[in-house]
Amino acid sequence: MRWLTGILLGLLLLLQYPLWLGKGSWLKVWDTQQQVIQQQQVNAKLTTRNAAMDAEVRDLKQGLGAIEERARTELGMIRKNEVFFQVLDAPPPTAVMPPAIPTAEPPASHGMPR
């Protein structure tokens, strides 16, 4: 009777192996699900970026306002007979340091010449 229990237990373990550690095991399914979730997050970011780029392309194809804005901001272009004013921020005030107070020279050490 003991050997029959051992054989049945061994068969049960052999049947459980593919479920837990085999090719289509629970661990691999879980790992694949985690990879899918990560890829979906990457795809969502790329979809948002692509939508923004698509809107920008449509603006550049349809209107001259977007082209003019790009020319002004990125290339620094101005229209004919237009006056360009550049306003610079005032530089931060520099702190004035008081002059250094001279300190007494350290005494010569053990008769060595300076």
Task: Report domain extents, the chain.
Answer: 24-75
Highest mean pLDDT among 8-17, 35-44, 90-99: 35-44
In this predicted structure, the answer to whether residue 66 has a pLDDT above a threshold of 60 is: yes
Cα distance between residue 20 and residue 29, in whole Å: 10
Question: Model-level pTM greater than 0.75?
Answer: no
At position 35, the amino acid (one-letter code) is Q
